[in-house]
Chains A and B, each alone.
Chain A
Amino acid sequence: MSRLWRASPLTYCALIAATVMSLFPIYWMFVVASRSSDAMGQLPPPMTPGGNLGANIARLFDNTDAYFLTGLINSAIVATTVTVSVVFFCSLAGFAFAKLRFRGRNAMLMVIIATMMVPTQLGVIPLYILMTKLNLNDRLPAVILPALVTGFGVFMMRQYAGQAVSTELIEAARVDGCGTARIYWNVVVPALRPAAAVLGLLTFMTTWNDFLWPYAVLNDPENPTVQLSLRALSDGYYQDMSQVFTGTAIATLPLLLVFVLFGRQIIGGIMEGAVKA
């Protein structure tokens, strides 16, 4: 390769600087989370972890304003349910759009793509009214139901199914007497597995991270998602910042864990999506 593409020491310096900038706030979050609450008042600020993490965690879970454990469990329930549902319904619809012939296919796909451009804010108030009428306010189904299937997911699975699922295989299965449901399960699902994994990861992270809609619909402080617990913690009047930071660290941990385990796939998914957009 030509020297045009060689990375100079300067390139590495710049990348190291970018990495430090990226990681520092997260690192510092863990530093404060592991120290006593007076760490916040110290100048220069402490830069190494202390030994108070256990005590902070105990205080956090005892805090009766935050309902942090409930928040964690609720977030796990919501994110898991939504992820399973999104992967299933989006792969089903993506398969139909990519490989099945039916009347109105293109028009319906256009509708789905158009829905991706509607901002969430526009629906918040009527959704709130709807959930009140359905008696779901302050309950988890209110958070789960609107997220069960996404236009982005359908579009992504359609793109992937178009090239990853072999048409010959589908036809062969049809000749052998398979119905479309069996074709989906035995031919399409195995082929879609990599894309389904990426969609699942992205969906889990987005759902775990969501703040706006739960903030609107879950007003009962005793039944929050973990992000709402964080809000309750940070809006409180105590100066116990190490406890708050323990909360932010624990709320971020599942996301970081998923990223460490599946970072390669997530990066691949983001970059793939961009090329085809």
Chain B
Amino acid sequence: MALQLDAHPPATPAPRKTRPPRSGRLSRIDAKYSPYLYIAPFFVIFAIFGAWPLAYTFWVSLHDWDLLGTDPTFIGADNYTQLLVDSDFWHSVVNTLGIFVISTVPQLLLALWLANLLNRHLRFRTGWRMAVLVPNVTSTAAVAIVFGVLFGREFGMVNWMLDLVGLDPIGWKSDRFASWVAISAMVDWRWTGYNALIFLAAMQAIPRDLYEAAAIDGANRARQFWAVTVPLLKPTIIFCVIISTIGGLQLFTEPRLFHSGTNAIRGGPMRESQTLTMYMFENAFAPYYNFGYGSAVAWLLFALIAIVAAINVLIIRRLGAGARPKIGGRKGGPQ
């Protein structure tokens, strides 16, 4: 008699020895369909509150869609063409990119350096790690308000310290570039420790004999860092850059709460630090309630994130191409 190896059930089911047939069928139905039941909540919730809005934003963006207007009129790409010549929109794009660059670059460099420090034999290991992560677990809104005061013009502590060393006070909220710096300081304060821990985790996976070998070859610490650590961290660095890109381009809470009063959603009277998300809010909700225009801003924001993320990856690939040693293959795992 031939063994039946394929999946077809035998013509007459073999009698079960351990269980009555009814529960056998039930358990087969259970094994076959219950996985779908377990993953269904995600797909149901995502369909309603994630996927549908995604498509619907696009649909809304093709309309003249006012909160008060009863029926929205289809206007095609008008919102987009209007946006492309909207100087306030481009102003917010420049703000967003500017804040993103001056926050992300120092943040990741600092995080690398901090991770390198944490990757030594330290007393109170967990204590140091907790200390650098504390900023990340505070309330963003609260911190934005606190920093707003620290960077105040008259009584802010930062200007007071500048005064101590004989520098003129800076209008952190009224000067465009200065407000970018202040908001970047907030972002860096919050995220440097988080990135440092991610880098630290990756550093601990680097085999230590590589460093011994480099030391024997006469490489000092700095050289070991740039020639061994950084190239081997490349996948993690790419990961952190992309995460920071997505986060940095969506910045909202910090700049929104850095300013207070009537012009808060504009990022100051002259839109000094209005980010794209703030511009979207300004148009979609109070004061304008123009959902169509706001949705178009949202889609262009998405496009911007995709473009910047792609550029980032290209640059990092290019930068690391020459420096990468062959030892990467030794780890064997998927990169």
Interface residues of A (CB under 8 A from B): 1-2, 4-7, 11, 14-15, 18-19, 21-23, 25-26, 28-29, 32, 40-45, 89-90, 92-93, 95-97, 100-102, 105, 108, 112, 115, 117-130, 145-146, 148-149, 151, 154, 174, 177, 179-181, 184, 205, 208-209, 211-212, 215-216, 227, 230-231, 233-235, 237, 241, 244-245, 247-249, 251-252, 255-256, 258-259, 263-264, 266-267, 270-275, 277
Query: Is B120 a contact of A118 with CB atoms below 8 Å?
Result: no
B94 within 8 A of A: no
Further 11 A-B residue pairs, CB within 8 A, beyond A251-B141, A267-B130: A4-B224, A25-B147, A93-B39, A119-B301, A122-B54, A149-B41, A149-B45, A216-B285, A230-B141, A248-B141, A271-B197
Bound CA span A135–B42, Å: 23
Bound CA span A60–B49, Å: 35
CB nearest neighbor in A for B50: A115
CB nearest neighbor in A for B280: A121
Q: Using Cβ atoms and an 8 Å threshold, which residues of chain A touch B295?
A: 125-126
B146 within 8 A of A: yes
Q: Using Cβ atoms and an 8 Å threshold, which residues of chain B touch A227?
A: 139-142
- Interface stretch, picked from B81-89, B99-107, B149-157, B317-325, is B149-157
Query: Is B138 a contact of A255 with CB atoms below 8 Å?
Result: yes
Bound CA span A271–B197, Å: 6
B252 within 8 A of A: yes
Contact mask for chain B residues 231-245; partner A; CB cutoff 8 A; 1 contact, 0 none: 000001001000000
Q: Using Cβ atoms and an 8 Å threshold, which residues of chain A touch B43?
A: 108
Q: Using Cβ atoms and an 8 Å threshold, which residues of chain B touch A274?
A: 197-198, 201-202, 236, 239
Bin the interface of chain B by size: 35 or more
Can you name 12 A-B residue pairings with CB atoms under 8 Å? A15-B118, A18-B117, A25-B189, A28-B150, A40-B155, A45-B155, A89-B41, A92-B39, A93-B42, A126-B53, A174-B31, A274-B198
B59 shortest CB reach to chain A, Å: 8
Given the contacts A112-B42, A125-B294, A248 and B120 also touching, CB distance less than 8 Å: no
Bound CA span A21–B126, Å: 18
Q: Which of B117, B140, B143 contacts A25 (CB 8 A)?
A: B143
Query: Is B260 a contact of A235 with CB atoms below 8 Å?
Result: yes
Bound CA span A101–B138, Å: 41
Q: Using Cβ atoms and an 8 Å threshold, which residues of chain A touch B121?
A: 1, 5-7
Given the contacts A21-B189, A97-B39, A154-B42, A121 and B141 also touching, CB distance less than 8 Å: no
Secondary structure type dominating chain B contacts? helix
**Chain B contacts with A in 101-115, Cβ cutoff 8 A:** 114
A163 shortest CB reach to chain B, Å: 14
Bound CA span A122–B205, Å: 37
Query: Is B193 a contact of A230 with CB atoms below 8 Å?
Result: no
Query: Is B38 a contact of A93 with CB atoms below 8 Å?
Result: yes
A68 shortest CB reach to chain B, Å: 13
CB nearest neighbor in B for A112: B42
Q: Using Cβ atoms and an 8 Å threshold, which residues of chain A touch B157?
A: 28, 45
Bound CA span A9–B51, Å: 53
Q: Using Cβ atoms and an 8 Å threshold, which residues of chain A touch B119?
A: 5
CB nearest neighbor in B for A120: B250
**Chain B contacts with A in 1-36, Cβ cutoff 8 A:** 19, 23, 26-27, 30-32, 34-36
Query: Is A256 a contact of B41 with CB atoms below 8 Å?
Result: no
Bound CA span A25–B189, Å: 10
Bound CA span A179–B23, Å: 10
Query: Is B49 a contact of A145 with CB atoms below 8 Å?
Result: yes
Query: Is B39 a contact of A235 with CB atoms below 8 Å?
Result: no
B46 within 8 A of A: yes
Query: Is A209 a contact of B140 with CB atoms below 8 Å?
Result: yes
Given the contacts A7-B120, A18-B131, A231-B257, A102 and B36 also touching, CB distance less than 8 Å: yes
Contact mask for chain B residues 118-140; partner A; CB cutoff 8 A; 1 contact, 0 none: 11111100101111111101111
CB nearest neighbor in A for B295: A125
Q: Using Cβ atoms and an 8 Å threshold, which residues of chain A touch B221?
A: 4
Q: Which of A129, A180, A211, A273 contacts B291 (CB 8 A)?
A: A129
CB nearest neighbor in A for B41: A89
7 smallest A-B Cβ distances: which pairs?
A: A248-B142, A123-B53, A126-B53, A271-B201, A146-B49, A126-B56, A274-B198
Q: Using Cβ atoms and an 8 Å threshold, which residues of chain B touch A180?
A: 30-31, 34-35, 38
Query: Is B201 a contact of A256 with CB atoms below 8 Å?
Result: no
